[in-house]
Amino acid sequence: MNIKRVLLFLISIMALHPLRADEGMWVPSYIQQKIEDMRGKGFRLSAEDLYSINSSSLKDAIVHFNGGCTGEMISDEGLLITNHHCGYDQIQYHSSVEHDYLKDGFWAMKRDEELPNPDLYVAFLEYMEDVTKKVLAGYSESMSEEQREKLVADNSRRIVSRIERKGKGIKARVAPLYYGNQYFVYVYKVFTDVRLVGAPPSSIGKFGGDTDNWMWPRHTGDFSLFRVYADRNNEPAPYSPDNVPYRPKRFFKINASGISEGDFTLVYGYPGRTSEYVTSQAVDYIANVSNPKKIKLRTIRLGIMDSQMERSDAVRIQYSSKHADVANSWKKWQGEMKGILKMNTVENKRNYEKAFAVWAKGKPEYDGIIGKFADLYSQAEALSLVRDYQYEALNAPEFLFFAAGDGSDSALFYKNYYKPIDKATFIALMNEYDKDIDDSYKSPYFKEKVAKAGSVEKLADEIYDNDSLSLAREFYMATNTFYNSTVKPRLDSLNREINMLYRKYMRGQMDFARENGTGKVFYPDANSTLRIAYGRIEGYAPADAVRYKPFSTLEGIMEKDNPAIFDYNVPQKLREIYASRDFGRWEENGTVPVCFIATNHTTGGNSGSPVLDADGNLIGVNFDRVWEGTMSDIVFDPDLCRNIALDIRYALFVIDKVADAGYLLNEMVILE
């Protein structure tokens, strides 16, 4: 085949995989570009209803919750709903042996029982604006990537400080889109007096635990309630008993009238990070090297925790939150790997890159990019593996990290520390590091210490049996200094070059698509800024002969009920309500709806995001994705990628019937 025929052939393959509807996390201020498609799929509002700089719009009801999750206003008195797992730290903060709010739940029965949280903030987006010209003022092509970075940082700082001067609680942040082809400034109003209003017991809010995490069918009542407080002028203010509930520009009305498969859905929130436009080598590294290694290391850690947690309730309580943290990514990476392999993404990207390279021939801007990627990635791979082991092995034993600190968190640390777990972890992980990392990249201190002690086990005895803070600190410092001074600078400089190449490649992919008339519209990768994803309620077929329905109900909770299994121990109150069938206005077809899935493209950070219907009313609260679709951070499959949402009616049912906090419903607007 000649080049032209190869190209035509590859383009015809690509045309079979156009960007399918439902993929994408769209920039709210540009949503006009998608509104026709959205309305064709059932949406009934305008672009201005979603995002407006002139008047209030739905975006004014949404917050970035503590920097990592999303939350939304559900009353004109500052009432906020987010996930239980997003409010977990606050619930834990207020918990003690006498008041175990994690275990038993917490409900303020009146305003002055709402609990302030010292470390909690929520940010409302005031506006976003393209500042590319200002950010790149003074840039010239001859600059190195490092000089460019410095210029961008300096210009951004000026933009930010000019804006932040303007008002109380105003915070600005400049973020790159499309690998720095574009820059936006995001301007927020930040509130720090945010109080805990309610949380169900973990046996509802975390029902299914790690067993059901990342999976469908799901029955988790993953929500908690907070209230935003402001000063007398409705402006942000530090906690004060004189503060009053914040009156938001907008809050969501709740649609409790029922939903059906096929209904339009929109998720409006703060997705954290995706990598949809990376090359075949990058995906190959993730699916075939990095994920398998990191999974192996975490499997070891989880195994050690499990064996000790099984033996003692005290240890189980100490380590349950840590175990959940380690297990969350561990489980996600497995689904992601599997999804990438199933989608044949490495091969598909390789074919695409071949076609791109042919197209790029003779175009000075793009010619040779693919070859350069290959070169840079092959240099970066070994270093990336060292980085992965630095974080997942060397730095994983907690005692080391603690010893390296100033000891001020000592009481907190020892409260949840069980030496046999940490020592066994040290031994297992250091042996893996020793075995898997090439000698030339291995910390010389590590080699020397192990040789001197005789073995990793003996070194562990020296550190742990003597509780030697000084040796632990020395170990942590020496291995990190080696990494930071020897490995990291080389990796950073390669990544800088790779990023610069991606900036070109991103433009190239757009030009390539435009010239070939594929009609593909490119959304920027997630970067913890506000985005819109739209789709519909839909089941999926995860395996041969299996098809999942999109709704789960209280029946499923009772089917899973088992007092002997911690994750499935239904609270007695819920059992009683179930037995009496006292479902009140939340009843549907003889039961209560609990969760649903939809085709919205979401990622970490979208937890707590409002799931809206075609009229912009709240039907659910996003909290997870299905395991078979977790590759959506890298490649989206419309057949398998589903977000999981709590049906808002289950939250209302729990507030009303389980918590007897029905008074909270009075401040909501519930459409039935």
Q: How far is CA 440 from CA 253, 378, 386, 447, 451, in A?
A: 60, 16, 11, 11, 16
The residue annotated as part of the active site, out of 57, 156, 607, 632, is 607
Can residue 23 be called a binding residue for ligand ASP (CB under 6 A)? no
Give the CA diameter of the chain: 78
Can residue 276 be called a binding residue for ligand ASP (CB under 6 A)? no
**x/- letters, 383..402, toward ligand ASP (CB under 6 A):** --------------------
Question: Considering CB distances under 5 to 8 angstroms, the limit depending on partner class, which of ligand ASP, ligand ARG, none binds residue 432?
Answer: none
Minimum distance from CB of 194 to ligand ARG (Å)?
20
List the Cα angle 336/342/345 in 5-degree steps: 80
Can residue 339 be called a binding residue for ligand ARG (CB under 6 A)? no
Which of 202, 607, 609, 617 is the binder for ligand ARG (CB under 6 A)? Answer: 607
Name 64's bridge partners: 70, 123
Q: Which residues contact 458 (CB under 8 A, 6 or more apart)?
A: none
The residue annotated as part of the active site, out of 49, 210, 222, 525, is 222
Give the binding range for ligand ARG (CB under 6 A) out of 32-40, 197-205, 210-218, 359-367.
210-218
Give the binding range for ligand ARG (CB under 6 A) out of 183-191, 205-213, 410-418, 518-526.
205-213
The residue annotated as part of the active site, out of 22, 60, 75, 85, is 85
Q: Return the number of the residue (215 or 300) whose C-beta is nearest ligand ASP.
A: 215
Q: How far is CA 217 from CA 213, 437, 554, 604, in A?
A: 10, 40, 12, 19
Q: Please give the helix or strand (H or E) that residue 507 lies within, else none.
A: helix 488-515
Q: Is 196 exposed, middle or buried (0-12, 13-18, 19+ CB in 10 A)?
A: buried
| Sign of the dihedral defined by the CA atoms of residues 545, 623, 583, 256, in that order | negative
CA 434/CA 110 separation, integer angstroms: 58
Q: How far is CA 128 from CA 396, 436, 529, in A?
A: 38, 46, 10
Contacts by 577-583 with C-beta closer than 8 Å and gap 24+?
577/657, 577/658, 578/554, 582/657, 583/554, 583/653, 583/657
3 state DSSP class of 17: coil
Q: Return the number of the residue (46 or 329) whose C-beta is nearest ligand ARG.
A: 329
Can residue 624 be called a binding residue for ligand ARG (CB under 6 A)? yes
Minimum distance from CB of 269 to ligand ASP (Å)?
9
Can residue 624 be called a binding residue for ligand ASP (CB under 6 A)? yes
CA 271/CA 25 separation, integer angstroms: 8
> Are residues 578 and 220 in contact, defined by beta-carbon separation less than 8 angstroms?
no
Give the binding range for ligand ASP (CB under 6 A) out of 157-165, 416-424, 518-526, 621-629.
621-629
Can residue 205 be called a binding residue for ligand ARG (CB under 6 A)? no
Q: Return the number of the residue (82 or 156) whose C-beta is nearest ligand ASP.
A: 82
Annotation marks residue 222 as catalytic: yes
Can residue 604 be called a binding residue for ligand ASP (CB under 6 A)? yes
Give the binding range for ligand ASP (CB under 6 A) out of 237-245, 333-341, 576-584, 620-628.
620-628
What's the token pair of residue 70?
């999303």
Which of 205, 606, 627, 647 is the binder for ligand ASP (CB under 6 A)? Answer: 606
Can residue 569 be called a binding residue for ligand ARG (CB under 6 A)? no
Question: Considering CB distances under 5 to 8 angstroms, the limit depending on partner class, which of ligand ASP, ligand ARG, none binds residue 605?
Answer: ligand ASP
Q: Taking Cα atoms as reference points, which of 376, 375, 380, 374 lies closest to residue 441? A: 380
Q: At what angle do helices 345-360 and 313-343 cross, to 10 degrees?
A: 50
What's the token pair of residue 88?
């977990």
**x/- letters, 78..117, toward ligand ARG (CB under 6 A):** -------x--------------------------------
Minimum distance from CB of 366 to ligand ASP (Å)?
33
Radius of gyration for the alpha carbons in the chain, expressed in angstroms and rounded: 26
Question: Considering CB distances under 5 to 8 angstroms, the limit depending on partner class, which of ligand ARG, ligand ASP, none binds residue 523?
Answer: none
Question: Considering CB distances under 5 to 8 angstroms, the limit depending on partner class, which of ligand ARG, ligand ASP, none binds residue 324?
Answer: ligand ARG
Name 531's bridge partners: 269
Annotation marks residue 52 as catalytic: no
What's the token pair of residue 47?
């672009």
Give the binding range for ligand ASP (CB under 6 A) out of 235-243, 341-349, 446-454, 597-605.
597-605
Give the binding range for ligand ASP (CB under 6 A) out of 226-234, 451-459, 464-472, 598-606.
598-606
Strands 254-255 vs 670-671: parallel, antiparallel or unpaired? parallel
Which of 605, 610, 616, 620 is the binder for ligand ASP (CB under 6 A)? Answer: 605
Q: Tell me which residues touch ligand ARG (CB under 6 A).
A: 85, 209-210, 213-214, 324, 328, 604, 607, 624
Q: Tell me which residues touch ligand ASP (CB under 6 A).
A: 602-607, 623-625
Catalytic machinery residues: 85, 222, 607
